[in-house]
């Protein structure tokens, strides 16, 4: 492994790309520490400490995760990559619904360029909405529960000009993050947006581990690290697992040349949906918590029940609902991202067939059957991994940002594997021994 790293840095072209990626990551992390103009930094830090001690920051855990902790500190990169993720998911869903977008997707690179442009515009629109909501909550003192806004005001003043400056600054920060991600994709190694998400997730690991040590001691920290290694190994195993469906192409004569006769396979991953179902389920379960927060002064039996059962992640009802939503969204997302009919039609068009299965409708039915069979273990796997931090919070009383579980571990392993494979491919082009042996 170390010799492979050395070989990567001995290659001038690859070394420049890796150093460029490291430089962009350093700029990204620097921006995550610079406060937005108008923020009272000392009061924000005090309120974050109070919120963490009272475990009342759970409402924003997902967004705070993708911002590397920058959200609750109201920095210029407070929104992180979350608006882009949301915009990308929305566009993927709309491609299935809107014929115009579906036609653009089939146009190839030119159509994908237009969809990417639409994603950028939607990202900026979502950034404006999210920044407005966050600044409004900070202005009213409701961003962090348990912190008295009269004693610890988060802003130096609540004027309209300060409000607008903060919204514009956070929106511009999101635009800069998009630009940095695209620079990594074009001039560096790996997918830029994924690497930025990976950076923000990993940046919270030291603080989370230290919090476990401070609250429970070194024995519990050792157990957590051991569990983390087991979880990482299991996630890597499942992420690499796939069902390979063999495909044979018949020989055909085109002019004077013979084409076809080759055999290949269709790789169907066990976790075909990735981390998207966890994000969907988490976002949906945040709606009841937001409803309670915006109606704190209201007296209602429904709100009291929601606050008791659907806000705290350690409640069994919350866990069961979270698990069921992940399973549902896994099937839903796989159904819209993999179309067995389209795959079967393309195979028939180019003379391909699955051995023992007739082309056309039987191939479509076979692909649907196999996909449904492997999606079930993938959905159960996602649900169990996502429940790890909630179970840890209930059993050992750790903070809900438990490092080895949920969205963080899925993103960390997935992006790391993809980036290592890309470095490996570039090393193999130069006849070096790479990472994967």
Band the pLDDT of 261: cuts 50, 70, 90. Answer: low
Band the pLDDT of 173: cuts 50, 70, 90. Answer: very high
User: Distance between CA atoms of 152 and 428, rounded to whole angstroms?
Assistant: 57
Q: How far is CA 67 from the centre of its chain?
A: 11
- The better pLDDT of the pair 359, 294 is held by 359
Domain assignment present for residue 228? The answer is yes
**Same-domain status, 197 and 227:** no
What pLDDT sits at residue 172? 94
What pLDDT sits at residue 83? 87
pTM score: 0.78
What pLDDT sits at residue 434? 46
Number of domains in the chain: 2
Domain assignment present for residue 410? The answer is no
Mean pLDDT taken over the chain:
79
**Same-domain status, 116 and 143:** yes
State mean pLDDT over 243-261.
71
Closest Cα to residue 188, out of 25, 55, 394? 25
What pLDDT sits at residue 55? 46
**Same-domain status, 399 and 306:** yes
Band the pLDDT of 311: cuts 50, 70, 90. Answer: low
What pLDDT sits at residue 61? 59
User: Distance between CA atoms of 149 and 139, rounded to whole angstroms?
Assistant: 9
State mean pLDDT over 374-385.
89
Q: Which residues pair with 246 in a beta bridge?
A: 265
Q: Return the CA Rg of the chain.
A: 24
Over residues 318-360, the pLDDT tens digits come to 888 888 988 998 998 888 888 888 888 888 887 788 888 888 8
User: Distance between CA atoms of 137 and 294, rounded to whole angstroms?
Assistant: 10
User: Distance between CA atoms of 317 and 305, rounded to whole angstroms?
Assistant: 11
**Same-domain status, 76 and 116:** yes
Q: Which residues pair with 267 in a beta bridge?
A: 244
Range with the poorest average pLDDT among 164-178, 241-255, 366-380: 241-255
- Residue 226's domain comprises 205-404
Domain assignment present for residue 92? The answer is yes
**Residue where a domain terminates, one of 145, 173, 203:** 203
What pLDDT sits at residue 164? 92
CATH code of 164's domain: 1.10.3370.10
């Amino acid at each position: 492994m170390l010799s492979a790293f050395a070989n990567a840095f001995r290659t001038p072209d690859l070394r420049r790309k890796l150093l460029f990626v490291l430089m962009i990551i350093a700029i990204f992390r620097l921006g995550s520490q610079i406060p937005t103009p108008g923020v009272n930094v000392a009061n924000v830090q005090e309120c974050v400490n109070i919120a963490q001690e009272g475990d009342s920051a759970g409402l924003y855990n997902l967004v705070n995760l993708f911002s590397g902790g920058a959200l609750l500190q109201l920095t210029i990169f407070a929104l992180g990559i979350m608006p882009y993720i949301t915009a990308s998911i929305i566009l993927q869903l709309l491609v299935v619904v809107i014929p115009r977008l579906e036609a653009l997707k089939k146009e190839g690179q030119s159509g994908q360029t237009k969809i990417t442009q639409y994603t950028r515009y939607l990202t900026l629109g979502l950034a404006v909405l999210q920044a407005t909501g966050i600044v409004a909550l900070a202005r009213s003192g409701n961003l962090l529960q348990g912190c008295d806004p009269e004693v610890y005001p988060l802003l130096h003043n609540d004027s309209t000009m300060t409000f607008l400056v903060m919204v514009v600054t956070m929106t511009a920060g999101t635009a800069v993050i998009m630009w940095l991600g695209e620079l990594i994709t074009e001039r560096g190694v790996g997918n830029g947006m994924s690497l930025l998400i990976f950076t923000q997730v990993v940046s919270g690991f030291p603080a989370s581990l230290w919090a476990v040590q401070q609250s429970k001691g070194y024995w519990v920290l050792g157990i957590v690290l051991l569990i983390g290694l087991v979880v990482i190994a299991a996630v890597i195993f499942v992420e690499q697992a796939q069902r390979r469906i063999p495909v044979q192409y018949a020989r055909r004569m085109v002019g004077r040349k013979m084409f076809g006769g080759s055999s290949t396979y269709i790789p169907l991953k066990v976790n075909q949906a990735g981390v998207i179902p966890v994000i969907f389920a988490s976002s949906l379960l945040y709606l009841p918590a937001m409803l309670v927060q915006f109606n704190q002064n209201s007296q209602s039996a429904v709100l009291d029940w929601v606050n008791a059962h659907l806000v705290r992640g350690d409640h069994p009802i919350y866990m069961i609902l979270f698990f069921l939503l992940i399973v549902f969204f896994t099937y839903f997302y796989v159904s819209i991202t993999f179309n067995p009919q389209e795959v079967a039609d393309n195979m028939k068009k180019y003379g391909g067939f699955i051995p023992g299965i007739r082309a056309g409708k039987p191939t479509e039915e076979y692909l649907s059957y196999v996909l449904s069979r492997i999606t079930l273990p993938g959905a159960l796997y996602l649900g169990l991994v996502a429940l790890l931090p909630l179970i840890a919070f209930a059993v050992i009383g750790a903070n809900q940002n438990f490092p080895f579980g949920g969205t963080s571990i899925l993103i960390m392993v997935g992006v790391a594997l993809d980036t290592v494979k890309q470095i490996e491919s570039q090393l193999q082009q130069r006849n070096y021994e790479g990472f994967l042996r």
